[in-house]
Structure 1
Amino acid sequence: MNYSLVENILGRLMISFSGFMVIPFLVALIWQEGSVLAFVLSIIITLVMGLILLAYGKKDGRMGVREGFVIVAGAWLLTSLTGALPYALSGAVPTYLDGLFESVSGLTTTGASVIDNVEILPKSILLWRSLTHWLGGMGIIVLFIVFLPNMTGAVHLFNAEVTGPTSERVLPRIRDNALKLWQIYFGLTVAQIFLLIIVGMNWFDAINHSFATMATGGFSTKNTSIAYYDNLWIELIIIVFMIIAGVNFSLYYQAWRSGLNKIFKDIEFQFYLLIIIVSTLLIALSLWWTMGIDGGNSLRQALFQVASIITTTGFATANFDQWPSATKIILLCLMFIGGSAGSTAGGMKVSRIVLLFKLGWVELRRAIHPKAVINVRFAKKTVDPVIFNTVAVFFFLFLSIFAVATLLLAAIGLEPLDAMSAVVATLGNVGPGFGVIGPTTTFSSINAFGESVLILCMLLGRLELFTLLVLVQPEFWRSRKGW
């Protein structure tokens, strides 16, 4: 393990991260808010930490798979720890652990919050919450690769952070690939900001909600989320951009080069769109039939909540915790599924779900024809059995962590459904769940132990389990040639 190289890269990353804290600091300065000192101290602490790591580290050396895992895991842990400082030092939260929860929730784009009244927070803190969303959405490591040209072994960092069963690239060079993804991400964010301003949202709220939408995060500047505005056009714009954010961003570059057909021919996108349409119609029908809500409003509420949940954004325009049981089951399933691989959405990803169904169908056919050689195709390519194995292991680990974390939360007094929804909402990086952590409440009622469990769930979910779990293996830390 080249620890010196790890320290060097983490040091440079922390220095860069302290630079992003300057943005909300300037906002606090302009509005003469009491959070100015909190951001000054946060910037200094983060900067000093980065300089210390840089002083002990060296740029020279080869980056292997192990270094890539350690750097990505270390980057997310360090940015989470320092990202909590503005909350704790400004008094926005009562304890540092609450600040850490808010920081991890922001960076992992979960959108779960322990702050009951966000409307009394300084603008600088609100912006910091949304900015952490935006930085974590496309990935802080992917952004870091853009600013560090010619970094040897960057592919290991890219593969350890980008979501999905495979790390698909649209360009041969990693830095070019990262740059293109961030350009698309930035362009879509700017477009949404202008559209929201045009339909009546003020510029500050438009920036915050666009950051949260494109990152599929869900932090809002209002206690009642998007329901506060009660504006059809705002809802439609956010619905469209939530769905856009839940699509594999590589497809947008391919569409730009080869036409929009590239997106619509993608098998994962087709299933993603199909799930949204079917879920929306089923929920709308349920709301109309059982609750007596008229057809237009049923469709409006259903589409927004479905788009918000499957993309793991977590915005809300209705209290879906009061909806019929069947609709809540559908939403719970969407929390598990999540968006597309290579998107900013969380969850298990649509491509994994499709591959699991294909794997199940293949095994049923093998039961009839034991000696048959059956090749499975996905996106017009034969799927490597190794990928099937990885997907199956991911599914097993996801459900195992879900079960263990649910038991731990139930042990501290949460009702079974509340515990289950809290875990899937954090492990899937969704945000709101049901019961005590529903769309109209926060996670503030959960004690310190429960918060710690959910913080770990958020990090595991954002880093797709393997990046963190691989670090607990003793073999990982042993010196070994060929890594």
Structure 2
Amino acid sequence: MNYLFVEHILGRLMIAYAGFMVIPFLGALIWREKSMPAFLFSIIVIMVIGLGLLHHGQKNGRMGVREGFVIVAGAWLLTCSTGAMPFAMSGVVPNYLDGLFESVSGLTATGATIIDNVEILPKSILLWRSLTHWLGGMGIIVLFIVFLPNMTGAVHLFKAEVTGATSERVLPRIRDNALKLWQIYLGLTAVQFFLLLLVGMNWFDAVNHTFSTMASGGFSTKNASIMYYDSLWIELITIVFMIITGINFGLYSLALRSGIDKIFKDLEFRFYLIIIAVSTFVVTLSLWWTLGLGGGNSLRQALFQVVSIITTTGFVTADYDQWPSVSKIILLLLMFIGGCAGSTAGGIKVSRIILLFKLGWVELKRAIHPKAVINVRFATRSVDPQIFNTVAVFFFLFFAILALATLLLASTGLEPFDAICAAAAALGNVGPGFGVVGPSTTFSSINSFGEIVLIICMLLGRLELFTLLVLIQPEFWRSRKGW
């Protein structure tokens, strides 16, 4: 593996990352906040790291599969660890580990927080929290590819970071695809920002909530999240854009080239909408019948929370921890499902759920006709048997990691249900869960060891397990032809 080339790429990325941190630094300067020295020092440290990697690295090199995995994993680890410095140095959290938790939660668009009162934070810190969401939502590496027009092998970076089980909707050139994705992302960001302004949200809150929504993150400037505003229009705009960001962004690119009907013909998109519709209907009935909230109010709360949870955004308009058991179970299941492949949402992804159903149906047929050759199709394409193997392995690893994380969290003193919910919320990049990490609380009750477990879960969930787990294989680091 060409380590010097890897260092060069990571150096360039860190310099770009420092450039983004200048934004909240300028905010702290304008608003005359005490967080200004923390941002300035962090920018200097990140620049020193970036320049050091550039100086020691090598500009020319081949981008192979191994280099792609190492660069993506290294980029996320470096940005998360250095992004924690403003939190720790400004004093908004008591120690670096808490700052790391906040940074990882931001960049992975999880939205879990250990800060009990965000409304007393400096505006620059709030902006940095939301900006980390926005950068991590579409992908740090995907953005970086846009600025590397001549880098060969960028496809390995793209595949290592972009989420989902299928990759048929990419453009022939990876940089073109990355550029198109970010253009769409920027356009949607601008539209939501102006719509929130139109319905009465102030510009600062509109910026932060737009960044959080587009990334399917969930960080808010208010302790009560979207519930604070008690505005039907703000909720409707947020619902629409949460749904939009839970859809494969490659579909939007395809629609721009071939027509909007391509979106509605997509199997995963239709299944995604069906899950939202059915879940909303059942939760609405549950709230109406059990809590007596009334039809309109039940639908309003149910739709928002169903969309917020399945897209793993994590905004809240109600304390769903107090809802009937049926409603809570549905929301818990939605945490696992997540959004579509290629979206900013976390979770297992709808495409994998569909493929698992198809795999189960095929095995039932084979039980009756053992010698039958069954061709499985996903939308208009035949599914490669290797994709089924990958999906099955992903499911096994996902729930194995979930079980291990639950046991480790339970060892810290959490009740079993609380431990499961905390692990699921972190691994699925959802944010709030149930119990001690519910919508009306934070993760501040989790001890240091538990924070480390959840940090690892958030990173594994955002990078879809394989990108990090492959690095622990000794074989990965051995020199081998064909990589």
TM interval, shorter chain, is over 0.9
The aligned amino acid for 1:405 is A
**Aligned residue in 2 for 1:382:** 382
In 2, Cα distance between equivalents of 1:167 and 1:477: 26
Structure 2 counterpart of 1:395: 395
Tell me the secondary structure at the aligned position of residue 226 of structure 2: helix
Give how far 1:169 is off. 4.0
Runs of 4+ in 1 over 2 A off after TM superposition: 166-170
Match of 1:184 in 2: 184
| Aligned counterpart, 2:110 | 110
User: Where do 1:148-187 residues align within 5 Å?
Assistant: 148-187=148-187
Matches within 5 A, 1:1-400: 1-400=1-400
Query: What is the CA–CA distance in structure 2 between the aligned matches of 1:252 and 1:148, rounded to whole Å?
Result: 23
Distance in 1 between residues matched to 2:258 and 2:321, nearest whole Å? 43
Which residue matches 2:459? 459
- Please say if 1:434 is aligned against 2:434: yes
Contact 2:425 2:433 in 1 (8 A): yes
Amino acid at match of 1:252: Y
State the distance in 2 between where 1:169 and 1:288 align. Answer: 41
Match of 2:32, SS state, is: coil
Cα distance in 2 for partners of 1:369, 1:229 equals: 59
In 2: Cα distance, 1:72 partner to 1:298 partner:
43
Distance 2:220 2:208 in 1: 7
Q: Aligned equivalents of 1:409 and 1:21: distance in 2? A: 33
SS of the residue aligned with 2:9?
A: helix
CA offset digits 1:364-389 (Å, max 9, x no partner): 00000000000110011110000000
Normalising by structure 2, we get a TM-score of 1.00
Q: Quote how far apart the aligned CAs of 1:92 are.
A: 0.9
CA distance in structure 2 between the partners assigned to 1:407 and 1:328 by the alignment: 22
Give the Å deviation of 1:148: 1.1
Shift of 1:165: 0.9
Q: Secondary structure at the match of 1:479?
A: coil
Q: Deviations for 1:268-301, whole angstroms, at most 9, x for unmatched residues?
A: 0000000000000000000000111100000000
Deviations 1:202-236 (A, max 9, x none): 00000000000010000000000000000000000
Partners of 1:106 and 1:73 lie apart in 2 by: 16
Distance 1:53 1:275 in 2: 46
Q: Deviations over 1:140-160 (max 9, x none)?
A: 000000011111110000000
Q: Secondary structure at the match of 1:313?
A: coil
- Alpha-carbon distance, 1:436 to partner: 0.4
Contact in 1 for aligned 2:216/2:245 (Cα 8 Å): yes
Residue 170 of structure 1 deviates from its aligned partner by 3.2
1:229-255, Cα deviation, whole Å (9 max, x unpaired): 000000000000000000000111111
8 A Cα contact 1:337 1:348, kept in partner: yes
Query: Matched residues in 2 for 1:357 and 1:253: separation?
Result: 28
| In structure 2, distance between residues paired with 1:216 and 1:239 | 11
Report if the CA contact (8 A) 1:104-1:458 is conserved: yes
CA–CA separation in structure 2 for the residues paired with 1:292 and 1:176: 52
Q: Which moved more, 1:8-17 or 1:254-263?
A: 254-263
* Structure 1: segments with no counterpart, 5+ residues: none
- CA deviation after TM superposition for structure 1 residue 168, in Å: 3.6
Separation of aligned partners in 1, 2:333 and 2:171 = 34
C-alpha separation between the residues in 1 aligned to 2:70 and 2:385?
Answer: 27
Contact persistence 1:38–1:90 (CA under 8 A)? yes
Distance in 1, matches of 2:375 and 2:423, equals: 36
Alpha-carbon shift at residue 171 of structure 1 (Å): 1.5
Q: Is the 8 A contact 1:13 1:75 kept in 2?
A: yes
| Consecutive unaligned residues in structure 2, runs of 5 or more | none
Structure 2 contact 169–251 (Cα < 8 Å) conserved: no
Q: Give the CA RMSD over aligned residues.
A: 0.6
Contact 2:426 2:454 in 1 (8 A): yes
> Per-residue displacement from partner, 1:399-458 (whole Å, max 9, x unpaired)?
000000001101111111111110110100000000000001000000000000000000
Please tell me whether the aligned partners of residues 268 and 340 of structure 2 are also in contact (alpha carbons under 8 angstroms). yes
| Rounded Cα–Cα distance in structure 2 between residues aligned with 1:201 and 1:309 | 23
Structure 2: distance between partners of 1:255 and 1:152 = 27
User: Contact 2:2–2:67 (CA<8 Å) still a contact in 1?
Assistant: yes
1:321: how far off?
0.3
Counterpart CA distance in 2 for 1:468 and 1:25 is: 31
Residues of 1 paired with 2:308 and 2:58: CA distance?
A: 44
Task: Give the whole-Å Cα distance in 2 for the aligned partners of 1:96 and 1:293.
Answer: 44
Contact 2:25 2:40 in 1 (8 A): yes
Q: Tell whether 2:475 aligns with 1:468.
A: no
Distance 1:214 1:63 in 2: 30
* Counterpart in the other structure of 2:407: 407
> Which amino acid counterpart does residue 259 of structure 1 have in structure 2?
G
**Could you tell me whether the CA contact under 8 Å between 1:251 and 1:262 is conserved in 2?**
yes
Identity rate of aligned residues, in percent? 79
Q: Does structure 2 conserve the Cα–Cα contact (< 8 Å) formed by 1:169 and 1:177?
A: no
Residue identity opposite 1:229 in structure 2: Y
SS at match of 1:443: coil
Aligned partner of 2:109: which letter?
T
Q: Which one-letter code corresponds to 1:164 in the other structure?
A: G
Q: Secondary structure at the match of 1:77?
A: helix
Distance 1:125 1:353 in 2: 38
Supply the distance in 1 between the matched residues of 2:67 and 2:189 (Cα, whole angstroms): 32
Q: Deviations over 1:463-482 (max 9, x none)?
A: 00000000000000000011
**Could you tell me which amino acid in structure 1 is paired with residue 326 of structure 2?**
A
After superposition, give the CA deviation of every residue in 1:58-95 in whole Å (9 maximum; x if it has no partner). Answer: 01111100000000000000000000000001001001
For the 8 Å contact 1:168–1:342, the answer to whether it is kept is no
Q: AA paired with 2:369?
A: H
